[in-house]
Structure 1
Amino acid sequence: MSGQTRQTTSSFAALARLLKYARGYRRQIIAATTCSIINKLFDIAPEILIGVAIDVVVNQEQSFVAGLGFETAREQITILAILTFFIWAGESLFEYLFQILWRNLAQRLQSDLRQDAYEHAQRLDMSFFEARSSGQLVATMNDDVNQLERFLDGGANAMIQVLVTVVAVGAVFFVLSPLIALLAFTPIPLIIWGAFFFQRKAGPLYADVREKVGDLSSRLANNLGGIATIKSFTAERREAERLKASSEAYVEANRRAIRISSAFIPVIRMAILAGFLATFTVGGMMALEGSLNVGAYGVLVFLTQRLLWPLTGLAEVIDLFERAMASTRRILDLLAEPVYVHDQEGVPLAQPVRGDVRFEQVSFHYPASGAGIKGIDLQVPAGHTLALVGATGSGKSTLVKLLLRFYDPSQGRILIDGQPIQSLSLNSLRSAIGLVSQDVYLFEGSIRENLAYGKPDATDAEIVEAAKTAEAWSFIEALPDGLDTPVGERGIRLSGGQRQRLSLARALLKDPPILVLDEATSAVDNETEAAIQRSLKRIGHNRTVIMIAHRLSTIVDADTIAVVEAGQVVEAGTHQALLQQQGAYHAQWQVQTGQV
């Protein structure tokens, strides 16, 4: 959904979507709402008792309470004192209950929303992540969820209690004096109109605020992740200015929203003053004339403020409500993002997996760029090695993404051991494939935790064996803390070659029947490349290996080498056979070996 569409979506529609999502919390919502209502009824009651007490003092044996069977003024005052105690106790009890219920609901709902949003994001296709910044997603799952939590902590109760106040106090007014009730309620339409007017004005502004928060988060995440590049290009001042621009855009978006919300209270205060003066003067005249009981007049004066003054809180409540609904739209829009690569849960690869891989007339194009592959036919027998070579952007990595089902082909199919991968569960498919990519991602934690990522229950002996096979054990053993050495964020404490060897060891510990190396040696030194080559010769036996490489020297022993150009396989064969063809592979080989 576009930002403009999100802005025009009404806040009440967002609230309806939220209530639909929260239908599993119906009992908690009803219980919390009930406690809020009862608390507010108890809260209003003391003003009524004050009026009744005035009536007792003035009229004594002819008072309203006397008509209930309490003849003397002392009895009447005593019973009013007892009622006051129970009303205050009841108000305190239900305030405690509604705060417990609303706050626990807020905590539970925000936790579940964040968890559901994250789990749904994990199921989304790679195209979703390639089109959005991680900062926006973090802002949605963290800041937006927290914004909703703040509303549920206090705003929901405030909205309910304002409504209860209007209904309950209005009922008392119309019982005591319909005329004064009409005068007191005259400002309410203006207040309600003002509330909706400001809500309509503020809604798009707060949607813009949430967008600016995401932009700011994205800028911070990108800059902190690329701090080494910033330093190397001495771009600190430039990046500080860019961050300042994003921060100022957020401040400006908030300023526009604050200007609207801040105008609400002064306007409403004058409407309240009109209602209070009407009750005060007209009711006072009626009491002097004797057409209105003095105690009733006291009740009306006290309740007028109780009726109208809380409505000034609508400004803050609406402000909180608009912020929360803007956040809610972003959260629920994320949850509504469609998943195109559907998981066939419960359909596993036939065991044991041999690793025979076939691409049959496979075509795919990226929607944004139009780049991709067309009519790819390739077969990798179990235990064989396929090397894919070609220029950057020719479609080699696309084949790997399709094999892992990060995307689904638009035409053709991919089979493993004769089973179409689209008919398999994603867990079964990806468990059979080990990926070592050029862009190694290590999670913050120890070397042991990173190596065991694909096999959390691995023993130290298994971890050490995988590290030795990947020729990573020698440098791990030399570290002061060995396997317990922290790698830092994204493995920043290790060299590029060390990270690459750990990535290979991590894939080997998983022990997959199919190993995919996506330019795994393109960014390492000669020593690391030689080490990885030695490792591959050991681990390639009885395992299907698919390699993407720019350095042709690393794939000369492959069973099949496929040359990919413009999304199509133009040559395929062994190293010697391709050299004899004097084609595209031969030309690349001559360039890399310095023969031209």
Structure 2
Amino acid sequence: MEHTQDHADTWRLLRLLTAGRRARLFAALPVTLVAVLAELAPFWLLYRAIETLIAAPQALAAMLYELAAWLAAALLLKYLAYGGAYVLSHHAAYDIMAAIRCRLVAHLARAPLHWLHERGAGALKQSVIQDVERMEAFLAHHTVEIAAAVMAPLCVAALLFWVDWRLALAVLSVGPLALACSWGFMRGAGRDHDQFSRATAELNNATVEYVRNMPVMKVFCRAAADFRLLQRRLEDYYRLAERITRRTVPGWSLFTSVLGAHLLLLLPLGAWLHGRGEVTAAQVAVAVVLGAGVFRPLLKVSRFSMEMPEIFAGLRRMAPILRLAEMPRLPAATATGPLQVALSGVDFRYRGRPILADVSLTLAPGSFNVLVGPSGSGKSTLAQIVAGVLAPQAGQATLNGRPAAALADDERARLVAFATQDVFLFSGSVRDNLCLARPQAGEDEIRRAVRVAQAEAFILGLPAGLDTRVNELGARLSGGERQRLAVARALLADTPLLVLDEATAFADSMTQRAFFEALRATYADKTVLVVAHRLYGIERADQVLILEAGRLTGRGTHDSLLRESAYYRAMWRCEALGVAWTLARPAADTGGEGEPTPFAEMTNG
């Protein structure tokens, strides 16, 4: 029952997507019928030629020119009719595809960030590109071909019954048997295609991740086989494809074999009826010729039935995207001043693995907050939840009392700026990339954001300054330069909340300190959350949060945490030793007192 309901819902979605654009598809059907009838004309001419040859062989030569003329006319009509039908169906198909793509992209533009994050780029690419491309074959080609494949056997059957009803029954009797064989072997094809579609989506996600990380793989001279996630997805994909192939190929082979078995009945019956004088040799010959092709169009119908589950699976993948417009939106906030961020009992899991557990915190309006902790403790996940990129699976994250993940995109863009160490730059000028969030930003605002982000010096060194062209992904810039631009872009957005997830990874300790000081002095009203892997420069933070194994184990000022947190104290000591460490001259070989060793210099520092 559930499968039947899914099938009905998919057809309903298909009708919705093609609404208002089906006229050309329907117009192609009568044109296709004309082409089918023209395709049958040669068989009628063959029947007349055989009848004439048997009855009056000398008269056949006289009618050859007439038969040739009619044959040429039938072929020309067939060519024109099929051409017209395909023109109509292709125009309709590409019109529908363009409308579907525009609709999908428009809905994705309104999709919540956490929803996009959960789906993955590969799965979304499959829906917008590959699934829509399959619609082209279905609408442009199958509309005409399946119509012809259904009309042709009906017309042939009518012609066979006109020739002789007994010969017609002998030819058509193998059809139900072939369909029964196909149905028996092809049961469960819908479930197979759903599994195959899921495997394809997972393989697409892994492939996109591999392609994005290909420069890293090339640096270490690693092949695709060393990318274990991609390797696993490929193995799952081909294992599933092999299982489906082994199950479906025997049924398909039996189906095609039975379709050609009509001669086993037709020839003995035709010979017996001809011997009794009830049918002519021309009738038997035409029945044999027509019978050889009567079910051939059904192969296209069978292939179409095998492709339909895949097309339906693609439509089902589009359905969640098309439902995005129905997602509730909260009314826009009226206040644009400093924001208070609150997390209450937040939990988050990734594929069953706990990332955050019962995290509660408050970021006061206009405060400067730093989040520290060991690698893998969940800092980036927590930053994305605060920014509204991810939605907590339990608990709540609010901005001025409103759920962050439920904000409309335009409102989130007004309230939150988010920058990470993974930077995406568009092909264009430096100025274009900086002004992405605020195209109307003035020159003074741009220069202020660039100065605070510690990017002023390197931009001045570029050939055309802010108007220097950069390639997509910022290939002409270093990693640190790209990160500085990302921070400046986030500052230029002029939002009351700024979240920086390891966005200061570009900086050494002195540069990080200068950045923090400039940030607090220039943008004092912003509520700031910084995920940092170095502590230098955070001594004056209003609040330092310590995250370990997904739990907050400490919070307070720098001084209070030095007294109360063993982890923070050890981290600060390592930071201080790293800053004070210098290379020193080794002690003299004589064993006397010489200059301090590097270890002594480090420990004394």
**TM-score interval, normalised by the smaller of the two chains:** 0.7 to 0.9
Q: Please name the residue that 1:521 is paired with.
A: 504
Residue 355 (structure 2) pairs with residue 371 (structure 1):
yes
Q: 1:149 aligns with which of 105, 129, 136?
A: 136
Q: 1:450 aligns with which of 424, 433, 449?
A: 433
How has the CA–CA distance of structure 1 residues 210 and 578 changed in structure 2, closer, same or farther, with 3 Å as cutoff? closer
TM-score normalised over the length of structure 2: 0.75
- Of stretches 34-43 and 391-400 in structure 1, the one that deviates more from structure 2 is 391-400
Residue 163 (structure 2) pairs with residue 160 (structure 1):
no
Residue 57 (structure 2) pairs with residue 43 (structure 1):
no
Q: 2:331 aligns with which of 347, 354, 370?
A: 347
Aligned partner letter, 1:178: W
Q: 1:380 aligns with which of 364, 372, 384?
A: 364
What secondary structure is seen at the aligned counterpart in 1 of 2:450?
helix
Q: Please name the residue that 1:475 is paired with.
A: 458
**CA distance, structure 1, for counterparts of residue 253 and residue 347 of structure 2:** 61
Residue 511 (structure 2) pairs with residue 540 (structure 1):
no
Give matches, 1:189-204, under 5 Å.
189-197=176-184, 199-200=186-187
| 1:329-356 deviation digits (Å, cap 9, x = unpaired) | 15523533798999544721214x0023
Mapped contact 1:141–1:331 kept (Cα < 8 A): no
Shift of 1:124: 6.0
Shift of 1:56: 8.4
| 1:451-474 deviation digits (Å, cap 9, x = unpaired) | 233235657776556434433243
Q: Please name the residue that 1:91 is paired with.
A: 78
Q: Please name the residue that 1:63 is paired with.
A: none
What secondary structure is seen at the aligned counterpart in 1 of 2:354?
coil
Q: 2:14 aligns with which of 15, 19, 23?
A: 19
Shift of 1:53: 7.2
Mapped contact 2:416–2:497 kept (Cα < 8 A): yes
Q: Please name the residue that 1:178 is paired with.
A: 165
Q: Please name the residue that 2:320 is paired with.
A: 336
How has the CA–CA distance of structure 1 residues 214 and 407 changed in structure 2, closer, same or farther, with 3 Å as cutoff? closer
Give matches, 1:219-258, under 5 Å.
219-236=206-223, 239=226
Mapped contact 2:127–2:317 kept (Cα < 8 A): no
| 1:120-157 deviation digits (Å, cap 9, x = unpaired) | 66666666666666445544544444344334443443
Residue 478 (structure 2) pairs with residue 495 (structure 1):
yes
How has the CA–CA distance of structure 1 residues 35 and 547 changed in structure 2, closer, same or farther, with 3 Å as cutoff? same
How has the CA–CA distance of structure 1 residues 168 and 236 changed in structure 2, closer, same or farther, with 3 Å as cutoff? closer
**CA distance, structure 2, for counterparts of residue 34 and residue 460 of structure 1:** 65
- Of stretches 204-213 and 139-148 in structure 1, the one that deviates more from structure 2 is 204-213
Q: Please name the residue that 2:538 is paired with.
A: 555
**CA distance, structure 1, for counterparts of residue 333 and residue 569 of structure 2:** 38
CA RMSD, Structure 1 to Structure 2 (Å): 4.8
Residue 184 (structure 2) pairs with residue 188 (structure 1):
no
Shift of 1:498: 0.4
Q: 2:395 aligns with which of 393, 411, 417?
A: 411
* Identity value in percent: 26
**CA distance, structure 1, for counterparts of residue 282 and residue 232 of structure 2:** 62
Mapped contact 1:151–1:321 kept (Cα < 8 A): no
Aligned partner letter, 1:374: D
- Of stretches 506-515 and 552-561 in structure 1, the one that deviates more from structure 2 is 552-561
How has the CA–CA distance of structure 1 residues 97 and 254 changed in structure 2, closer, same or farther, with 3 Å as cutoff? farther
Shift of 1:182: 0.9
Q: 2:340 aligns with which of 327, 332, 357?
A: 357
Aligned partner letter, 1:501: R
Shift of 1:366: 2.5
- Could you say which structure has the greater relative contact order, defined with CA pairs below 8 angstroms and 6 or more residues apart? 1
**CA distance, structure 1, for counterparts of residue 359 and residue 5 of structure 2:** 47
Shift of 1:44: 2.6
How has the CA–CA distance of structure 1 residues 407 and 171 changed in structure 2, closer, same or farther, with 3 Å as cutoff? same
Aligned partner letter, 1:183: A
Shift of 1:249: 7.2
What secondary structure is seen at the aligned counterpart in 2 of 1:366?
strand
Mapped contact 2:189–2:309 kept (Cα < 8 A): no
In the alignment, structure 1 segments of 5+ residues that lack a partner are 1-5, 61-72
Shift of 1:89: 5.5
**CA distance, structure 2, for counterparts of residue 274 and residue 361 of structure 1:** 72
**CA distance, structure 1, for counterparts of residue 325 and residue 77 of structure 2:** 55
What secondary structure is seen at the aligned counterpart in 2 of 1:554?
coil
How has the CA–CA distance of structure 1 residues 11 and 252 changed in structure 2, closer, same or farther, with 3 Å as cutoff? farther
Paired positions, count: 574
TM-score normalised over the length of structure 1: 0.76
| 1:92-112 deviation digits (Å, cap 9, x = unpaired) | 343123212333344344455
**CA distance, structure 2, for counterparts of residue 480 and residue 419 of structure 1:** 46
Mapped contact 1:387–1:561 kept (Cα < 8 A): yes
How has the CA–CA distance of structure 1 residues 256 and 155 changed in structure 2, closer, same or farther, with 3 Å as cutoff? farther
| 1:266-324 deviation digits (Å, cap 9, x = unpaired) | 6556545542465466457656765447776665454333413434x44xx64465345
How has the CA–CA distance of structure 1 residues 390 and 238 changed in structure 2, closer, same or farther, with 3 Å as cutoff? closer
**CA distance, structure 1, for counterparts of residue 415 and residue 48 of structure 2:** 80
How has the CA–CA distance of structure 1 residues 99 and 480 changed in structure 2, closer, same or farther, with 3 Å as cutoff? same
Q: Please name the residue that 2:383 is paired with.
A: 400
**CA distance, structure 2, for counterparts of residue 408 and residue 266 of structure 1:** 50
| 1:414-462 deviation digits (Å, cap 9, x = unpaired) | 232x656577434212322111223333345553443233235657776
**CA distance, structure 1, for counterparts of residue 10 and residue 279 of structure 2:** 44
- Of stretches 267-276 and 507-516 in structure 1, the one that deviates more from structure 2 is 267-276
Mapped contact 1:147–1:323 kept (Cα < 8 A): no
